[in-house]
Structure 1
Amino acid sequence: MSAYYLPLGEQRYRPTEHTVGPWSDDAQHFGPVTALLARAAGLHDARTDLQFSRLTVEIWGPAPLRDLTVRTTTLRDGKSVQLLGAELNCDGRTIAKLRAWRHLISDTSIVADPLSTPGSTPEDSPVYHWPGSFGDSGYIDSVEWRAAEDAIGSRGTGICWARPTVPLVDGEPMTNLQNLLTVVDSTSGISSPVNGDDWWFQNTDLTVHLHRQPEGDWVGIQGHATFGATGTAVAAGVTWDRTGQVGHTAQTLLVRKR
């Protein structure tokens, strides 16, 4: 298959093997799911005077490798702000819900912070191969990862470059935002201080804040994970493109011994 999802018409999609995540052979990674929900929200209302500024996905349960349905709605529609919603369902069961704010595009360059750069480029970072079971999934194989060998999962921090190698929906080119959303759900994976073969650390949400729109197909991710003593953790990240910083991410993680 040449994409994460095959369109079936009427907001229905069939996931391919590229969506399979590292936690289970019969469940999807939520990177493609997040991008699919954001795509649906953007198509629901294609106002060109607005830009995505915050996207939050609440994960209700595993996303099975079966046909999916997406429903979208406008929750608030104003002149300068808009709140969109999208819901992913499978066999009548809610899988995930997206809430996305869009802000009016205007010229605020006079007060914009200088663009900070990540200090490396994809070209000067070696190809990274995920260890253990994390390196054996359709999703991991569908993304080109670049990072120094000790730059991922080192003492609860991690930094890498990533880009999907297949489109989100068959027959459509990936947008820059879809590229970013497909990979930033992996912030917890690149920053985890524990081995995924020994521990579960699955996120129940993902929030992405954007202070500018991403450019290009390469996405830089720098993450930091903090694990608590009672079964929960937080992974926070900064994301870049080649030009500079784009925004921030946050995930709440459910931690369990495997």
Structure 2
Amino acid sequence: MADQAPQAFFERISESRFAPTEHTRGPWDAGSQHAGPPAALLGRALEERPGARGDMRLARVTYEIVRPVPIRPLEVTTTVLRSGRSVELAEAALTPQGEAEPVMFARALRIRTLDEPGPAVAEGPRLPSPGETAETPFFAVPWDVGYHTSMDTRFTEGTFREQGPGTCWMRMRLPLVAGEEVRPLDRVLIAADSGNGISNVLDFGRHVFVNADLTVHLHRHPVGEWVCVEARTSVDPAGIGLADSRLHDEKGPIGRGAQSLFVAPR
């Protein structure tokens, strides 16, 4: 009897090496990952790196996606670029086995949290909850298992199969790393790269969209299993676009995400 496939996005091989499973597979290339799982993996590495301060929280992370991340073992490295009393800048890189150059970078700004709670400022109304919304099918994908089957998706506006703005609740069906607890940051970063897919404005069958980067700002630490991506995409005739997303959990807004796009006819 064949071994059952791991029920996680990654398996840990060693402290810094991870093997992606078929659940990371994106919708466009059977040999490449959706950018969400490796983004979450790099975010986790920045949080758990040796010497990371517990009194700091990730406020912003920017990903540079040099090229598609392959589905083969990956090495994660981290570097502290600047460390101050209240602010820290750190970088993580993802390098496939057998290659010398990273395929994805993450540069994170971590900010010290207050010892005593300060004033909070509310930012708008809550969205309809995921419990009020039916599960929404993904658009057609040529393989049975991948990111599209490993995330629970529920739209309150639009769908994957409609063009235009979209608002979608997302929940991981599997842990990020086999045998390890899912962290709140995992849930946000694995979903944030879906903004362009949620708010696509042109036919995916007739146009190619290349997501060259992703920036996520968080003003509040997320709570709960669900993350909502409220996305809008704009494209200039020159072929440069922007997918801009407001990010929420069930308590309300938590931050924003943005993706730079290259858009061209197929």
TM-score (norm 1): 0.94
Once residues 57 and 121 of structure 1 are traced to their aligned partners in structure 2, the CA distance between those partners, rounded to angstroms, is 29
Pair 1:142 & 2:150 matched: yes
Question: Which residue of the partner structure matches residue 3 of structure 2?
Answer: none
Question: For the residues of structure 2 that align with 1:230 and 1:218, how far apart are their CA atoms?
Answer: 36
Unaligned runs of at least 5 residues, structure 1 = none
Distance 2:208 2:145 in 1: 16
Deviation at 1:23, TM superposition (A): 1.5
Q: Which residue of 2 aligns with 1:63?
A: 69
Aligned residues: 257
Partners of 1:135 and 1:127 lie apart in 2 by: 20
For 1:173 and 1:237, the matched residues in 2 are separated by: 27
1:216 aligns with 2:224: yes
Question: For residues 118-148 of structure 1, what are the alpha-carbon distances to aligned partners after superposition, in whole Å with 9 as ceiling and x for unaligned?
Answer: 3200011110001233896500110000114
SS state at 1:89 partner: strand
One-letter identity of the residue aligned with 2:21? T
Shift of 1:154: 5.1
Aligned equivalents of 2:102 and 2:158: distance in 1? Answer: 38
Q: Secondary structure at the match of 1:159?
A: strand
Matched residue SS, 2:232: strand
Q: State the alpha-carbon separation in 2 of the partners of residues 119 and 36 from structure 1.
A: 28
Corresponding residue of 1:207 = 215
> Contact 1:70 / 1:88 at 8 angstroms: preserved in 2?
yes
| Per-residue deviation, residues 84-123 of structure 1 (Å, max 9, x unmatched) | 110000122311111000001015642x321433320001
Partner of 2:36, secondary structure, is: helix
| CA shift digits 1:177-203 (9 cap, x unpaired) | 111100110011001112222221121
Distance 1:159 1:13 in 2: 32
The range that moved more, 136-145 or 230-239, is 136-145
Give the Cα–Cα distance (whole angstroms) in 2 for the partners of residues 93 and 86 of structure 1.
13
8 Å contact kept, 1:152–1:160: no
Q: Which runs of 4+ in 1 moved over 4 A?
A: 134-137, 151-155
The two structures, once aligned, show a CA RMSD in angstroms of: 1.8
On the 8 A contact 1:161/1:221 being kept in 2, the answer is: yes
* 1:2-13 alignment, distance < 5 Å: 2-13=7-18
| Amino acid corresponding to residue 102 of structure 1 in structure 2 | R
DSSP-derived class of the 1:37 partner: helix
TM-score (norm: length of structure 2): 0.91
Equivalence for 2:53 = 47
Counterpart of 2:36 in structure 1 is 31
**Alpha carbons 2:157, 2:168 under 8 Å: kept:** no
Unaligned ranges ≥5, structure 2:
1-5
